[in-house]
C-alpha cells in the first residue's frame, strides 16, 4: 500500500482547520470530503408580554417583560429592538421603555413590536382606591406659573414642573416632569405657587416657603432663595394666598399679614415698599379668607364683606365710583351715569356687593384672583366677575374689561372658584365643572385651542370637588381623590413625564 503524498500534505496543512480530513488512502481508492453542515437560521416566531392582563389604578405605572419564542424551539427574554404603543387613550406608554401610565378609567391594550412580530397586554384601569395598584389620592393642589404642587390625603407633599429657582421644593434645581416627593413630612394641608416661589400650610398651623426670594416673597426677613421648605416664623395661620411675587396670610387670631413685592400696593400696608417679613395689614381681626393676583389682593372678613387693594389698571379691584345725574329739563328726563376710575390702592377698600344688591342678608362667601381679574360668589350662589377681560375670562360673553362686579349669567348654584392668567374655572353645587376664557394651551380642557367667552361644562361628570389654576394650567380633584390636570406643559407642569400640552383632563399620579 502506498501513501498518497498529496493527500497527506493537504491534510497536514489543513489539520486543525477542517473538523475532518481523510487519512492515508490507497492510491486506487476515491477520496471523499464530507459536506460542510450549515446550521439552520433561527427566527423569532412570536412574543409574549408579561404581565399579560393587569388592573391598575388611575395614575399608576407598569413596566413589562417580553419573552420570544424561536423557530428552533427555544425561548428567551427579548430586551432590544422593542417598540411600544397603546391602542387608545386610557393608557399612555413610553415607546422606548414600555412603561405604561394609567390615565383614565377604562380598558386599553399595550402592544410591543419586535422586527414585525407583535405581542399584547390587556390593561384595566380603575379609579384610585379601587382594585390593584392603588395610589394615594390628592387632598389639595396649587398651580404656579410653570410648576405645580399637590398634597396627598396622607399629608405628604409632591411638586413638579419648572424648578430653576427651587420652587418645586425637593432640594434641587432640576426640573421635574413627574411628581417628586417634597421632604418627609406628612403634615401638609394646603399649598400654592406663585411665579417662581411656593408656600405651604401644615396641620399645626405653621407656614412654610421656598423658591425665588427676589422681593422678599418667602417672608424670611432676607432675599435669599431657598430650594427646601423653611418655616416662616413661629406664628399659626389658618389661610393664605400666593400672588405673582407676594403673599397674604391670615393668622389664627384673624389678623391679616402680607409680604413680598409691593410696587402697586398689593400688600395693603399703606406704602409701595417691598416687605421681606410678615407685616400686618390694618387693624381688623376678623379676616377669614384671601386671594392674590399678579399685583392685586382680595380678602373676606367674617361679616361677609369683600375688600380689595393693589393694582387697578384693569378694574380688578371693583372699586370704581359711579355717579348718576338726572336732567329734568328734557322729556323724558335724561339719566346719566358717570364712572370715575379708582387708582391703585395701598390699603384695603370695601368692594360693593354688586350694583343691584340691596338685601342686607346677602354677603360674599368665596373669592378668587386671576392675574388681572377677580371672581367672587355671593351667599345667594350668584357668581360675579370684574377686571381684565381680553380673553373672555370674566365669562360675560364679551372681551371688554369690566371695572365693577358684574353677574355671570343667571345661575345661582356656584360653589368653588379658581382663576389663571387669562381663564377661569368653577364648580357648581351639583359637582359639575365649568370653565371659560383664554385657551392658548388647552387650559379649558375641551380638546381644542379655542377660547370661550361664556362658561362651558367640562365633560359630563358631576363628581368634582376642588379646582385650582396655574397661569395657563387647570387642575381639578374628583370625589375619589384623583387629580386631573390639563393645559400648558412646556416645563412638565402636568406631571405626566412629558412636555407637550394636555388638551383634555388627564390623571396625575
Question: Tens digit of pLDDT for each residue in 221-251?
Answer: 999 999 999 999 999 999 999 999 999 999 9
Rg (CA), the chain: 33
CATH number of 44-126: 2.60.40.10
Confidence band of 128 (pLDDT split at 50, 70, 90): low
**Sheet with 91-93, edge to edge strand ranges:** 61-62, 100-102, 91-93
Would you kindly state where each structural domain of the chain is located, as residue ranges?
44-126, 138-508
- Overall fold of domain 138-508: Methylamine Dehydrogenase; Chain H (2.130.10)
- What value does the mean pLDDT of the chain take? 88
- pLDDT at residue 202 tops 70: yes
DSSP 314: T
pLDDT at 50: 85
CA distance 199 to 217: 9
- Average pLDDT (29-55) is 80
Which of residues 167 and 71 earns the better pLDDT score?
A: 167
Which of residues 435 and 20 earns the better pLDDT score?
A: 435
Same fold across 44-126 and 138-508: no
pLDDT at 308: 97
**CA quadruple 56, 58, 63, 66: dihedral positive or negative?**
positive
Write the pLDDT tens digit of every residue in 408-434.
Answer: 999 999 999 999 999 999 999 999 999
- pLDDT at residue 92 tops 50: yes
- pLDDT at residue 45 tops 60: yes
Tell me the three state secondary structure of residue 228. Answer: strand
pLDDT at 7: 37
| pTM (2 d.p.) | 0.74
- pLDDT at residue 32 tops 80: no
- pLDDT at residue 10 tops 50: no
Q: Are 94 and 25 in contact (CB under 8 A)?
A: no
Please give the share of the chain, as a percent, with pLDDT higher than 70: 88
Amino acid at each position: 500500500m502506498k501513501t498518497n503524498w498529496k493527500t497527506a500534505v493537504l491534510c497536514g496543512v489543513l489539520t486543525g482547520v477542517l473538523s475532518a480530513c481523510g487519512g492515508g488512502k490507497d492510491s486506487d481508492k476515491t477520496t471523499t470530503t464530507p459536506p460542510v453542515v450549515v446550521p439552520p437560521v433561527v427566527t423569532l416566531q412570536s412574543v409574549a408580554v408579561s404581565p399579560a392582563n393587569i388592573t391598575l389604578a388611575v395614575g399608576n405605572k407598569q413596566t413589562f417583560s417580553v419573552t420570544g419564542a424561536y423557530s428552533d424551539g427555544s425561548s428567551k427574554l427579548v430586551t432590544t429592538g422593542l417598540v411600544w404603543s397603546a391602542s387608545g387613550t386610557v393608557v399612555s406608554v413610553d415607546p422606548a421603555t414600555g412603561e405604561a401610565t394609567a390615565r383614565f378609567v377604562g380598558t386599553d391594550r399595550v402592544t410591543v413590536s419586535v422586527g414585525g412580530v407583535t405581542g399584547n397586554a390587556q390593561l384595566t384601569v380603575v379609579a384610585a382606591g379601587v382594585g390593584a395598584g392603588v395610589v394615594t389620592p390628592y387632598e389639595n393642589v396649587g398651580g404656579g406659573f410653570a410648576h405645580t404642587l399637590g398634597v396627598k390625603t396622607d399629608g405628604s407633599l409632591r411638586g413638579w414642573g419648572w424648578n430653576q429657582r427651587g420652587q418645586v421644593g425637593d432640594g434641587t434645581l432640576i426640573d421635574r416632569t413627574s411628581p417628586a416627593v417634597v421632604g418627609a413630612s406628612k403634615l401638609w394641608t394646603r399649598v400654592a405657587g406663585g411665579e417662581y416661589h411656593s408656600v405651604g400650610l401644615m396641620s399645626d398651623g405653621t407656614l412654610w416657603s421656598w423658591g425665588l426670594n427676589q422681593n422678599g416673597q418667602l417672608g424670611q426677613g432676607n432675599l435669599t432663595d431657598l430650594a427646601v421648605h423653611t418655616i416662616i416664623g413661629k406664628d399659626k395661620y389658618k389661610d393664605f394666598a400666593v400672588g405673582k411675587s407676594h403673599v397674604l396670610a391670615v393668622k389664627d387670631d384673624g389678623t391679616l399679614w402680607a409680604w413680598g413685592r409691593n410696587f402697586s400696593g398689593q400688600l395693603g400696608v399703606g406704602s409701595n415698599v417691598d416687605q421681606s417679613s410678615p407685616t400686618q395689614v390694618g387693624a381688623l381681626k376678623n379676616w377669614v379668607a384671601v386671594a392674590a393676583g399678579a399685583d392685586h389682593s382680595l380678602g373676606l372678613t367674617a361679616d361677609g364683606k369683600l375688600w380689595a387693594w393693589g393694582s387697578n389698571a384693569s378694574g380688578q379691584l371693583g372699586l370704581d365710583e359711579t355717579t348718576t345725574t338726572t336732567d329734568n329739563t328734557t322729556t323724558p328726563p335724561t339719566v346719566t351715569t358717570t364712572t370715575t376710575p379708582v387708582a391703585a390702592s395701598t390699603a384695603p377698600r370695601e368692594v360693593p356687593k354688586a350694583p343691584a344688591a340691596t338685601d342686607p342678608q346677602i354677603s360674599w362667601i368665596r373669592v378668587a384672583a386671576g392675574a388681572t381679574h377677580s371672581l367672587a360668589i355671593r351667599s345667594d350662589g350668584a357668581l360675579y366677575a370684574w377686571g381684565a377681560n381680553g380673553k373672555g375670562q370674566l365669562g360675560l360673553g364679551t372681551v371688554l374689561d369690566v371695572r365693577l362686579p358684574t353677574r355671570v349669567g343667571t345661575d345661582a348654584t356656584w360653589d368653588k372658584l379658581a382663576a389663571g392668567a387669562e381663564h377661569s374655572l368653577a364648580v357648581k353645587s351639583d359637582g359639575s365643572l365649568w370653565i371659560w376664557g383664554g385657551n392658548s394651551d388647552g387650559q379649558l380642557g375641551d380638546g381644542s385651542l379655542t377660547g370661550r367667552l361664556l362658561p362651558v361644562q367640562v365633560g359630563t361628570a358631576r363628581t368634582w370637588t376642588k379646582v385650582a389654576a396655574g397661569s395657563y394650567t387647570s387642575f381639578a380633584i374628583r370625589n375619589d381623590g384623583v387629580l386631573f390636570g390639563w393645559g400648558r406643559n412646556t416645563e412638565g407642569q402636568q406631571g405626566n413625564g412629558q412636555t407637550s400640552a394636555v388638551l383634555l383632563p388627564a390623571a396625575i399620579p
